[in-house]
Amino acid sequence: MSVSSIEWTEVTWNPVTGCDRISAGCDNCYALKMAKRLKAMGAAKYQTDGDPRTSGPGFGVAVHDDAITEPLRWRSPRKVFVNSMSDIAHARVSPAAQARIWAVMALTPRHQFQVLTKRPKRLANLLSDRAFYDQVKTALWEVAENFNGPIPVNDMDAALRWIDPRNRLSGAIPAPLPNVWLGTSIETDEYCWRADELRRTPAAIRFLSCEPLLGPLPSLDLTAIDWLIVGGESGPGFRPLDLDWVRELRDRCVQRRVSLFFKQVGGVRPKAGGRSLDGRTWDEYPTRVSAGVGHG
Residues that bind ligand SF4 (CB under 6 A): 19, 21-22, 25-26, 29, 31-32, 86-87, 118
Query: Exposed, middle or buried: residue 251 (CB in 10 Å: 0-12, 13-18, 19+)?
Result: exposed
Min dist CB 134 to ligand SF4, Å, is 28
DSSP per residue, 181-210: EEEEE--SGGGTHHHHHHHTS--SEEEEEE
Range list of H helices, 59-119: 65-68, 70-73, 95-107
Task: Judge if the upstream peptide bond of residue 212 is cis by omega within 30 degrees of 0.
Answer: yes
Alpha-carbon distance 15 to 80, whole Å?
Answer: 12
Dihedral angle sign, alpha carbons of residues 139, 141, 144, 147: negative
Q: Choose between 19 and 115: whose C-beta lies nearer to ligand SF4.
A: 19
**Contact predicate 266/233, CB 8 Å:** yes
Nearest one of 33, 173, 13 to 105, comparing CA atoms? 13
Query: Hey, which residues does 79 pair with through a beta bridge?
Result: 112
Min dist CB 72 to ligand SF4, Å, is 25
Alpha-carbon radius of gyration of the chain: 19
Min dist CB 22 to ligand SF4, Å, is 6
Min dist CB 104 to ligand SF4, Å, is 20
Q: Which helix (H) or strand (E) holds 160?
A: helix 153-163
Q: Choose between 27 and 196: whose C-beta lies nearer to ligand SF4.
A: 27
**Contact predicate 93/59, CB 8 Å:** no
Min dist CB 259 to ligand SF4, Å, is 23
Q: Choose between 147 and 193: whose C-beta lies nearer to ligand SF4.
A: 193
Q: Choose between 21 and 122: whose C-beta lies nearer to ligand SF4.
A: 21
Nearest one of 187, 186, 211 to 197, comparing CA atoms? 186
Q: Choose between 155 and 197: whose C-beta lies nearer to ligand SF4.
A: 197
Q: Choose between 10 and 87: whose C-beta lies nearer to ligand SF4.
A: 87
Q: Choose between 138 and 188: whose C-beta lies nearer to ligand SF4.
A: 188
Dihedral pair phi/psi, residue 115, rounded to 5°: -105, 120
Q: Choose between 84 and 135: whose C-beta lies nearer to ligand SF4.
A: 84
Min dist CB 25 to ligand SF4, Å, is 6
Min dist CB 93 to ligand SF4, Å, is 11
Min dist CB 59 to ligand SF4, Å, is 8
